[in-house]
Amino acid sequence: MRDTPEMVQFLTTCPKILGLLEGFYRTMPAHPPLDVVVVEPSVLPDPQRRLLVHDNDMTSTLTGHHREKIVLRVLQQTSANGSLSRHIVLESAVSREPVEYGASSIGLDILDDRVRSDVIEGKKPLGGILNEHGVAYSNCPGAFFKVRSNDLMNRLFGLDESNWLYGRCNCLTDSIGRAIAEVVEILPPHAET
């Protein structure tokens, strides 16, 4: 990936996008800590680097890597001002292994009725829905980070103890540059197939 002005700007907005997780954490009885360090893509271990450092959508990338269809599990969601915010886990459809944890804010107002309906239904990942409907969009991953897994992440990923997990902040834009979604994507430590 090349260093573009958009990427430089996105590096400064990653804390805002990571705030999506904090927003959901604040609603929980025991507020999980979020210990995050922005890192250069070159320090990410494989296979996490291959799964995160690209301009493709994560749904297709994870489907190819795990050789299974990817499904969405919504942990929490809120809707306000034409935006749908979700706290989510992506799972492999057959083995039901968690393959990604994160949060997103999706601009419903710019989606057509069929796409919006599928998004609201909450059964498929956003990238899969956009691809299925032939929506032209771009991914603009910016900051990459490592995050210390908290009790919630440990429970979701089946971890016995805290680990450094790797992730990225991503933005999906339509063909005229409007933000379809802002997303934080965190992979499990056992990202191998």
Alpha-helix residue ranges (DSSP H) falling in 143-188: 151-157
pLDDT of residue 93: 93
pLDDT at 13: 53
Give mean pLDDT, residues 158-178.
Answer: 94
The pLDDT value given to residue 33: 82
Nearest to 21, CA basis, from 120, 108, 84, 102 = 102
pLDDT at 182 over 60: yes
- Angstrom distance (rounded) from CA 42 to CA 66: 23
Q: Which of 11-25, 92-106, 170-184 has the lowest mean pLDDT?
A: 11-25
44-58 average pLDDT score:
92
Cα Dmax for the chain: 45
Nearest-angstrom CA–CA distance, 110 and 130:
12
Q: Of 3-7, 42-46, 118-122, which has the strongest mean pLDDT?
A: 118-122
pLDDT value, residue 192 = 52
Tokens of 166: 């790797």
pLDDT tens, residue by residue, 93-145 = 999 999 999 999 999 999 999 999 999 999 999 999 999 999 999 998 888 99
Question: How high is the pLDDT of residue 15?
Answer: 72
The domain locations on the chain are 5-186
Residue 143: per-residue pLDDT? 87
**β-pairing verdict for 164-174 and 137-139:** antiparallel
Query: So what's the pLDDT on residue 191?
Result: 57
pLDDT score for 85: 95
Q: Tell me if residue 183 falls in helix, strand or coil.
A: strand
Q: What is the DSSP letter of 97?
A: -
Distances in whole angstroms, Cα of residue 192 to Cα of each of 8, 95, 105, 140, 189? 30, 14, 28, 24, 8
Question: Whole-prediction pTM value?
Answer: 0.89
Q: 60-74: per-residue pLDDT in tens?
A: 999 999 999 999 999
pLDDT at 2: 38
Q: If you search the block for the tokens 């979020």, which residue do you land on?
A: 34
What is the topology classification, in CATH, of domain 5-186?
Chorismate lyase (3.40.1410)
